[in-house]
């Protein structure tokens, strides 16, 4: 497993937290924001992976998508734990 998988994990983790913050700013529940962030991050990963087929020397790698999904789920879960207003006594 190459170092690019770690970069996919970190990149999609940051992307998911950014999306969750945007979606969770009062318009949606924290659960909805976290799930939507993971879905969008993973869809973005799938689409860009498919587009790589058209670039010479590049190929779609399912492990890149899995690393991105793992990063998004990890980050969205952490974001939810910190931001869950139903159980967070400091909110």
pLDDT of 68 reads 97
- CA triplet 11, 17, 21: central angle to 5 degrees? 145
pLDDT of 89 reads 53
pLDDT of 2 reads 76
User: What is the chain's pLDDT, residue by residue, as a tens digit (91 residues)?
Assistant: 678 999 999 999 999 999 999 998 888 899 999 999 999 999 999 999 999 989 999 889 999 999 999 999 999 999 999 987 665 555 4
CA 52/CA 84 separation, integer angstroms: 37
């Amino acid at each position: 497993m190459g170092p690019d998988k770690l970069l996919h994990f970190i990149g999609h983790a940051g992307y998911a937290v950014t999306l969750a913050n945007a979606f969770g700013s009062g318009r949606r529940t924290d659960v909805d924001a976290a799930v939507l962030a993971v879905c969008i991050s993973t869809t973005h990963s799938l689409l860009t992976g498919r587009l790589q087929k058209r670039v010479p020397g590049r190929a779609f790698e399912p492990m890149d998508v899995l690393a991105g999904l793992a990063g998004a789920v990890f980050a969205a879960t952490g974001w939810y734990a910190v931001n869950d207003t139903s159980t967070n006594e400091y909110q």
